[in-house]
Amino acid sequence: MTAEARLREQMCLLAKSMFDRGLTGGSTGNLSARTPDGGLLVSPTGTSFGRLDPGRLSRFDAQGRLIDGDPPTKEMPLHSAFYETRSTAGAVVHLHSCHSVALSMMPDVDADNFLPPLTPYAIMKLGRVKLLPFFLPGDPAMGQAVRGLAGKRSAVMLANHGPVVAGKDIEAACNAIEELEDTARLAMMTRGMAPRSLTDAEVRALVTKFDVEWDA
């Protein structure tokens, strides 16, 4: 099996795992990953994470031309913006996960640091998450908003819509976006209960020890 064939299988396996656990439903969500030759594999438009076909993934060459497979997700501007601004991005995942969307609707959320510091793991895997305003699905302005961050964030939350995370590879991106949803779930579960968050000193210790992108 070639490296690209293995990547195709891995993308579909991870997507189905997230679908089966209710992290995105119906035909929502999309993901992409760099191929060994510098191109992209992308989930097609209108497809379900539970039923992706490795042979029908949208295939782009290194110049960004669609060369094989079904038409890609309409959220391509989001994916392209991360690849163009973050040299370390090897994959991008976008979900419509319920708890993170619910948290994005809360009026007191910090737009520059969307997730409260409840556990170490979201800090380690995501750094600070930027909350972006609401855009119509597929609006190229979403990509422009990501480009406006100049590559300084690996994850954004689209208000009333869903999270988008870039990682070094498809497994890392999926692990990180699941951590984002888990932290948002904790935040909603403990809302109004005054939970003990990590202190500024504890956050700084994590940032230093694990070399987290944080101050940008």
pTM: 0.96
Q: Which residue has the tokens 């997700």?
A: 73
Average pLDDT of span 45-70 = 97
Q: Is the pLDDT of residue 11 over 80?
A: yes
User: Whole-angstrom Cα distance, residue 80 to residue 210?
Assistant: 27
Q: Which domains, ranges and CATH numbers included, belong to the chain?
A: 3-209 (3.40.225.10)
Q: Which residues are catalytic?
A: 75, 121
Which token pair is 86? 């973050």
Residue 172 above 70 pLDDT? yes
177-215 tens-digit pLDDT: 999 999 999 999 999 999 999 999 999 999 999 999 997
The pLDDT-based confidence of 129 (bands split at 50, 70, 90) is: very high
Instruction: State residue 216's pLDDT score.
Output: 65
The three-class DSSP label of residue 17 is helix
Q: Chain centroid to CA 62: how far?
A: 22
CB 168 within 8 A of CB 90: yes
Cβ–Cβ under 8 Å, residues 147 and 84: yes
- Whether 82 has a pLDDT exceeding 90, the answer reads yes
Strand 155-158 to strand 130-132: parallel, antiparallel, or no bridges (unpaired)?
parallel
The mean per-residue pLDDT over the stretch 128-134 comes to 98
Which pLDDT value is given to residue 164? 98
> Alpha carbon of 141 to those of 82, 138, 144: distances in Å?
13, 9, 5
What pLDDT score does 97 carry?
98
